[in-house]
Structure 1
Amino acid sequence: MHLLIFDIDGTLCDTNYIDELCLVHSAQQVLNIQNISSDWSTYKQSTDSGIILELIETLNLDSEIDMYSTVKRSFIELLEKYFYSNPEYFLPIPGAKNIIPLLLKEGFAIGIATGCWLDSAVLKLEKVGIQINNIPICSADNDIERVNIIKQCITDCSLFYNKDTFSAITYIGDGPWDLLAAKKLDINFLGIAKGNRAILLKELGAHNVFEEYSLIYEYLIQSI
């Protein structure tokens, strides 16, 4: 059985812009700092938990746990607010709503490993209309490092699908940090990206980058 693990932002949900906007705004407001970099590749860990903990550590703030929880709560509340005022920021990546049920029907195992917090992951998937019932999901609540989040997802999927091993494991993502994590774990990587992001992934060594899910589906079916 081939295990496919999906990222969320930019991969299943077209939410990179609103995710970035809300996380930066919440961190600035709660931590009382300005000019936060929204280039997640500049942080030690490109996950919500890793980014916020690094900012708190850099600022040498007291009450680290309280600050962290407050930023997280503010972020989720802001996402909810924007959904009702600007629902156009919460859209599925074209083809993403159908790709998971199609692949499950073909016998693939499916999991989700994301660098965002679980509450925001579920919120975004729900708002864009992607069903994830009975699909193992791991997030930035499990670990600050994406590699460990994916590892946990693999473990959870092994238990869920009752498999000691999988014939292949593939991580599907849109960011350079997704590709890097797959390389560190020595698992396959499929990119879903267009334009400059697609060019960047290829420059970093991604061999298979597709602009749409219909092409990913065809590629995976041919691999069976």
Structure 2
Amino acid sequence: MTVIIPGIVVFDIDGTLTDSVAQHQSAFETALRTFCFPSLRTDWGNYTHHTDSAIFEQAWEEAQYEGRADLSELEFQYRRALEHEITISPFTEIKGASAFLQWLKEHSWSVVFATGSLRFGAVKKLEAVGVDAEKVDLITASEFRTREEIVQKAIHLGSKKIPGGHADSLISIGDGLWDLKTANNLNLPFIGIGRDVKAKLLTDLGAPVFEDFTHLMNNGIGLFR
């Protein structure tokens, strides 16, 4: 019997599935400062690409350091810093996230995860919503520099679970402007997760926004029918 897969849902992680932005940014900045950049910009949204690896490489270029940026050393320093952060403030899920992931699984959606975070952080964040990163399709900034590359690769992996390899429906879910911009660049329908100022930034650009996944399941589940 052929299983009908409605389509692919692409999830951002930080601020979307998990309340982890503060811990991630603190650990990331701590890791970057081990490289002694003479003038490190921490306005992450103003870098050309909003991923950890791309920010690191741009900071390296702006510092006019010789050679290639050492991503493996950044990964090592980030891991140490993040482990410290989450002992103080563990990751928690955005309300209803794990329940919504389970609903998608029960309704045969192909779920993939695409994040601008380094892989170690993504793995730890997924644990907070009961997801084993070894058993899902997860693409991170450890593999690609741009959000578009990350999302495209995630979709490619997700499509392998669909008969014929073509998804009739593709939906991107995120919490930030970079998520929306990436979805627009790739011509993907987008759903925002957030409230207050964050929600207004997305709704002002025409995106449907739900304050959390409980709200989405109560008011927007028809988008997944």
Q: TM-score, normalised by structure 1?
A: 0.90
Q: Specify the code of the residue in structure 1 equivalent to 2:18.
A: C
Question: Which residue in 2 is equivalent to 1:50?
Answer: 54
- Comparing both structures, which one devotes a greater share of its residues to helix? 1
| Residues in 2 aligned to 1:76 and 1:203: alpha-carbon distance in whole angstroms | 36
Q: Deviations for 1:31-63, whole angstroms, at most 9, x for unmatched residues? A: 3445532x3320100001111111001111124
- Secondary structure of the corresponding residue to residue 123 of structure 2: helix
Question: Which residue in 1 is equivalent to 2:11?
Answer: 6
| Residues in 1 aligned to 2:58 and 2:51: alpha-carbon distance in whole angstroms | 10
Going from structure 1 to structure 2, the CA distance change for 1:222 and 1:58 (only over 3 Å counts) comes to: closer
Q: Deviations for 1:115-170, whole angstroms, at most 9, x for unmatched residues? A: 111121002222x2421463211111221110111000111111134442111101
Check conservation: 1:117, 1:139, Cα contact below 8 A.
yes
What's the % identity of the aligned pairs? 27
Confirm or deny that 1:97 pairs with 2:98: yes
Give the gaps of 5 or more residues in structure 2.
1-5
Check conservation: 2:60, 2:69, Cα contact below 8 A.
no
For these two proteins, the number of residue pairs brought into alignment is 218
| Residues in 2 aligned to 1:203 and 1:33: alpha-carbon distance in whole angstroms | 37
Question: Which residue in 1 is equivalent to 2:82?
Answer: 79
Give the gaps of 5 or more residues in structure 1.
none
| Residues in 2 aligned to 1:30 and 1:154: alpha-carbon distance in whole angstroms | 34
Check conservation: 1:50, 1:145, Cα contact below 8 A.
yes
- Secondary structure of the corresponding residue to residue 186 of structure 1: coil
Going from structure 1 to structure 2, the CA distance change for 1:132 and 1:102 (only over 3 Å counts) comes to: farther
| Residues in 2 aligned to 1:132 and 1:172: alpha-carbon distance in whole angstroms | 19
| Residues in 2 aligned to 1:130 and 1:33: alpha-carbon distance in whole angstroms | 40
